[in-house]
Amino acid sequence: MSAFQRFSVSVLCLLLFVACSPSLDEAKQALQQRITSQSEGRIKLVSFAVKEVNEFQAAGVQKRRIRYAAQIEFEENGLWSRGVGNESLHFAFSPNPRREDGYSTPNSHKTEAIADQMMKDLQGERQMTKGDVTRIVGVMTGTKSENGWKYELNGSHTTD
């Protein structure tokens, strides 16, 4: 088989997979709904890409595991309570104005303000500014039903 024929077969297989594969929009919607509900609309999903899909069956039910990459953008200045350790990301967000010196806490000593920000970061909280964009990666599991696919987020974290 020539290189052109191998390439043609590869392209045909890819097209068949894309054409026959059920829509992955439900996965994006599951992440979007979680972000919107937890942040009360203060964080928005600006991009979503599926990186890997593994389909399998468990107890006779069709399932899939998806690895994804996404970007979120902050609509306001505030404190993002994203969680700590190996737990999945949280999207709770408390708006607060930033002062002229760039800090959100009224602290007259910059060293103490920096230490305060570092402690918040260790506790899973990060001060964000309107327009900040953060990249996240994660895994979700989908279960097929008569109504389509239902996805659950299993784990996610930031990459910055």
Among all chains, which residue has been given the structure tokens 């996610």? 156
The β-bridge partners of 74 are 43
Domain assignment present for residue 32? The answer is yes
Three-state DSSP at 129 gives: coil
Domain assignment present for residue 60? The answer is yes
The amino acid sitting at 103 is: Y
Domain assignment present for residue 2? The answer is no
pLDDT digits (tens, 9 = 90+) for 109-131: 566 655 555 555 555 688 899 99
Domain assignment present for residue 94? The answer is yes
Domain limits for position 55:
23-158
Domain assignment present for residue 6? The answer is no
Domain assignment present for residue 11? The answer is no
Domain assignment present for residue 9? The answer is no
pLDDT digits (tens, 9 = 90+) for 46-62: 999 999 999 999 999 99
User: Does residue 105 come out as left (phi exceeding 0), alpha (psi in the -120 to 50 range) or beta?
Assistant: beta
Total domains in the fold of the chain: 1
What is the pTM for the complete model shown? 0.71
Domain assignment present for residue 57? The answer is yes
- Residues across the chain: 160
